[in-house]
Amino acid sequence: MLRWGRALRPRRGGAPGGAPGRPLRTAAPLSSDIFRELGRGLGRLGQTLKDQLPALEHGAGGWTPPGTPAGPRPPEEADVVVVGGGVVGWSVAFWLKALEGRRHGMRVLVVERDPTYSRASTVLSAGGIRQQFSLRENIQMSRFSASFLRNINEHLGVPNEPPIDIQFQPSGYLFLAPPQRAAKLEATVRLQREEGAQVALLSPTQLKAKFPWMDTEDVAVASYGLEDEGWFDPWTLLNAFRYKAMSLGVHSCSGEVQGFITSAEDTVSLQTARIKYVHIHMPDSLEYQPVTCAIVINAAGAWAEEVMGAAGLPGVLCQPPLPIQPRKRYVFSWHCPNGPGFSCPFLIDTTGAYFRRDGIAGNYLGGMSPPEEDEPDTSDLSVDHDFFQERVWPRLARRVPAFESLRPRGAWAGFYDYNAFDRNGVLGRHPKLENLFLAAGFSGHGLQHAPAVGRAVAELVVKGRYESLDLRRLGCRRLVEGEPLEEDGVV
């Protein structure tokens, strides 16, 4: 239907890449076949035995008497508590286990209040990944993430499970710039190329030759990502992170983090404090469970600031407040039989409206961010269909005349984890709560940056500093000092 198939993992017939007897010229050495055979047999046996186990740590499946809270209870103590089980939270959890020095060295707990993910941004996003950002850190994170997604089976593959297929569509992003923004776009592309991204600049003539379905009249220049850009299935990525993290021993529980107990005693002359307990409120009950913890990670996406407002955190320590707020964004889907064909990129119009192809049957999806003064109400996820009729459609139909006749198919809304300060993620240690780390506020590009963000935060926790990417500029200091780190390429 409208959202991406919720089927967990697409099982392709005949396990691509792993099929035995494929016509490789040089026969693979015997040992790997032994591994493979051994793997199958023991895997089956292991599964049989595992199925006999009482529901242990993850409590997957299993009958519970009515009235008891769904899902496993949280443990009483954990080394790291991750608040929020969206793609960012699970990525952090996965990387913590991947980087921990010795196995079972760290007890990581991911707390998610809504196991159906009905409001989580991750599964309501448009699934895009691009290299075309204006901030070096964002480009670097995208490069890291593209390489991660390309080799996803090396990172997140689980033995004896079918390979992960995130259904990546490598069609590129196409940014169109009017004359007044042409110079800026060209400068941004220079930066992207410096970072190793493959981005082409196209003149209107070249654009028209490549995409004859487009009206290029008011376009001065366009930038087109040639590699590592496109879109993929967010559900598959979220599930892959979650599945792998749990197979590495991460605990998960459904419940809402509603309070903290800190080491702060005297709240007046307070400079810093540590969080000692997290209070997890169990679903459909009045109970809450305190969990002792050494480190807390706030990966609550659009609700990251709400978490900071939870009971028990002294107000003085939460200054400055996180500028992260939910902002409602619609995604509309339509059918247009003679719209842009196979070559259709993820197009970002001069007006800020965007669209992309959705499958091969003439379906498209797109949307637009409203102007600041028209931000829709965020109390629910209802869709304003007039927004498409009045704002989005006219703009897209001007760009792509074929869209003048189209049939709307449906729409949904999700929340951007919008950083009103500078539209970039806030990453790293909290300035006053010593054992709290932040990973939120990615303002519409958090899905694609999740692999890099997870690794970066895990490095901070495990090694005490950034190792693969230097993301210090994305830290909280800029909030304290009031110096925004702007990203121009927010769609």
- The residues of the shown chain that bind other proteins, judged by CB under 8 A, are 12-14, 16-17, 19, 22-26, 28, 31-32, 35-36, 38-39, 42-43, 45-46, 49-50, 52-57, 73, 75-76, 102-104, 107, 150, 154, 157-160, 167-171, 210, 226-228, 230, 247, 249, 341-343, 360-361
* Partner touching 410 among other proteins, ligand FAD, none, CB below 5 to 8 Å by kind: none
Distance CA 61, CA 20 (A): 32
Determine contact, residues 448/142, Cβ cutoff 8 Å.
yes
Determine if the peptide bond prior to 376 is cis (ω within 30°).
no
Q: Cβ closer to other proteins: 167 or 351?
A: 167
Which of other proteins, ligand FAD, none does 86 bind, CB closer than 5 to 8 A by kind?
A: ligand FAD
Question: From ligand FAD, other proteins, none, which one binds at residue 360 (CB under 5 to 8 Å depending on kind)?
Answer: other proteins
Closest approach of other proteins to the CB of residue 182, in Å:
23
Q: Per-residue x/- marks for ligand FAD, 288-307, CB under 6 A?
A: -----------xxxxx---x
168 close to 145: Cβ distance less than 8 angstroms: no
Q: Give the nearer residue to other proteins in terms of CB position, either 179 or 212.
A: 212
- DSSP assignment of 24-75, as one string? -SSPPPHHHHHHHHHHHHHHHHHHHHHHHS---SS--S----TTSPSSPPPP
Tell which residue, 268, 363, 293, 312, has the closest CA to residue 109. Answer: 293
- Tell me how far apart the alpha carbons of residues 75 and 73 are, in angstroms, rounded to a whole number: 6
340 binds ligand FAD (CB under 6 A): no
Q: Which amino acid is at 118?
A: S
Quick check: 93 binds ligand FAD (CB under 6 A)?
A: no
Tell which one of 340, 444, 475, 489 touches ligand FAD (CB under 6 A).
444
Tell me which of ligand FAD, other proteins, none is bound by residue 113, counting a contact when its beta carbon lies within the kind-specific cut-off of 5 to 8 angstroms: ligand FAD
Query: Cα separation of 207 and 199, whole Å?
Result: 14
Q: For ligand FAD, which residue of 114, 227, 380, 404 counts as binding (CB under 6 A)?
A: 114
CA-based max dimension of the chain:
74
Q: Is 122 or 216 the residue whose CB approaches ligand FAD more closely?
A: 122
Which string of DSSP letters, residue by residue, matches 449-477? HHHHHHHHHHHHHHHSS--SS--GGGSTH
Site string for ligand FAD, 29-58 (x = CB under 6 A): ------------------------------
**3-state class of 138 per DSSP?**
helix
Q: Which stretch binds ligand FAD (CB under 6 A): 4-12, 161-169, 188-196, 445-453?
A: 445-453
User: Which residue bears the tokens 């196991």?
Assistant: 115
**Half-sphere exposure in the Cβ direction for 332 (13 Å, CA):** 25
Q: Interface with ligand FAD includes 83 (CB under 6 A)?
A: yes
Minimum distance from CB of 7 to other proteins (Å)?
A: 15
Q: What is the DSSP letter of 292?
A: E
CB of 335 to ligand FAD, least distance (A): 20
124's contact among other proteins, ligand FAD, none, with CB below 5 to 8 A by partner kind, is ligand FAD
Q: Return the one option of other proteins, ligand FAD, none that residue 414 interacts with (CB less than 5 to 8 A, by type).
A: ligand FAD
**Part in contact with ligand FAD (CB under 6 A); list of ranges 243-251, 267-275, 379-387, 437-445:** 437-445
Stretch that binds ligand FAD, among 64-72, 118-126, 149-157, 191-199 (CB under 6 A): 118-126
Report, in this order, helix, strand and coil percent for the chain, each rounded to 5: 30, 20, 45
Contact 413, 328 (CB under 8 A): yes
| Smallest gap from residue 167 Cβ to other proteins (A) | 7
Using rule CB under 6 A, residue 131 touches ligand FAD: no
- The span from the CA of 163 to the CA of 243, in Å, is 12
Alpha-carbon span 255 to 71, nearest angstrom? 9
Any idea how long the chain is? 491
Which positions lie near ligand FAD, rule CB under 6 A? 83-89, 111-114, 117, 120-122, 124-128, 256-257, 299-303, 307, 329, 331, 414-417, 440, 442, 444-448
